[in-house]
Structure 1
Amino acid sequence: MKKSSLINSELSYLVATLGHTDEITICDAGLPISEECQRIDLALTRGVPGFIETVKAILSESQIEAVVLASEFAEISPGTHEALLAVLKEEEQKSDSSIDVHYISHEEFKARTCKSRAVVRTGECTPYANVIFQAGVAF
């Protein structure tokens, strides 16, 4: 049996097969997901699992070099936005590498999710609680 923190088989497979610059999206319960994208639906009930805990679980086993956020996120949901930035700062310190943060409009964000290897849907009900992770290399 797998010993590390990430035990969801679909997420484990996704992380294990990421290549440098591949993207994955972690989203709230309301983000539209294209039929062309792989959907990994974790949503159970409102708020379960939460956005931040899902971000932490995926970061526990993956190296990222950049994130993309909707510019509306900081304005509409500042608490969750700040919590995400704090998690990213922690990850930078753990991995001793920087994580670039890029902002685009929410409309551009929704369009860009189609380029993701997968979209991970959480039960989060905080507006704009969405992030695109760009995979880095662990060496």
Structure 2
Amino acid sequence: MLRNLPPILSPSLLYALRAMGHGDEIAIVDANFPAESSGPDCVRLDGISATDTLKAILSVMPLDTFVAAPARTMQVVGDPDAVPEIVAEFQTIIDDTADKPARISTLERHAFYEAASHAFAVVQTGETRLYGNIILTKGIIEP
């Protein structure tokens, strides 16, 4: 056990977060996402929600301020302007937890899959709400 770290940050997830550099991306995905076959290392957090995972990760990882879209979600198929309830929750968590909050942008479904395939790691959560997927770009910790 460690102090001041959310206990859902498993050893493998902490390793991935620490090993990531500025500009690297991490995908937090729901239980339906093809995480194991997407390419990057897959860290499993079965039974943990995507929203709890996002909050825990943002408590230790800064978002990138050098890119226009450091937080990206998947668009609803057939309704790209829709904002699923979980995406609205993601935005609230970013606003409340990130050291430098950012507006979430969206990617078309297949573009999201492609972006996730280039992430440093994919965190497969137990999230059952549809569109519970978000890609974060790691920023820097200023001196």
TM-score between both structures, scaled by the size of structure 1: 0.85
Aligned to 1:28: 30
Hey, what's the Cα distance between the residues in 2 that align with 1:130 and 1:26? 6
Hey, what's the Cα distance between the residues in 2 that align with 1:125 and 1:71? 17
Listed as ranges, the matches of 1:60-139 within 5 Å are 60-65=59-64, 66-72=70-76, 75=82, 78-92=84-98, 95=99, 97-139=100-142
Q: Could you tell which deviates more after superposition, 33-42 or 7-16?
A: 33-42
Distance 1:74 1:3, change over 3 A: farther
SS for the counterpart of 1:56 is: helix
Distance 1:104 1:42, change over 3 A: same
Deviations 1:20-64 (A, max 9, x none): 110000000011122531010111xxxx21110111111111111
SS for the counterpart of 1:132 is: strand
Give the letter aligned to residue 124 of structure 1.
Answer: E
Deviations 1:64-108 (A, max 9, x none): 121111121873x6221111111111134xx2x242532110111
Shift of 1:4: 2.5
Give the letter aligned to residue 85 of structure 1.
Answer: Q
Shift of 1:129: 0.5
Aligned to 1:9: 11
Hey, what's the Cα distance between the residues in 2 that align with 1:129 and 1:98? 19
SS for the counterpart of 2:104 is: strand
Hey, what's the Cα distance between the residues in 2 that align with 1:15 and 1:58? 8
Answer 1 or 2: which has greater helix percent.
1
How many aligned positions are there?
131
| Structure 1: segments with no counterpart, 5+ residues | none
Aligned to 1:56: 55
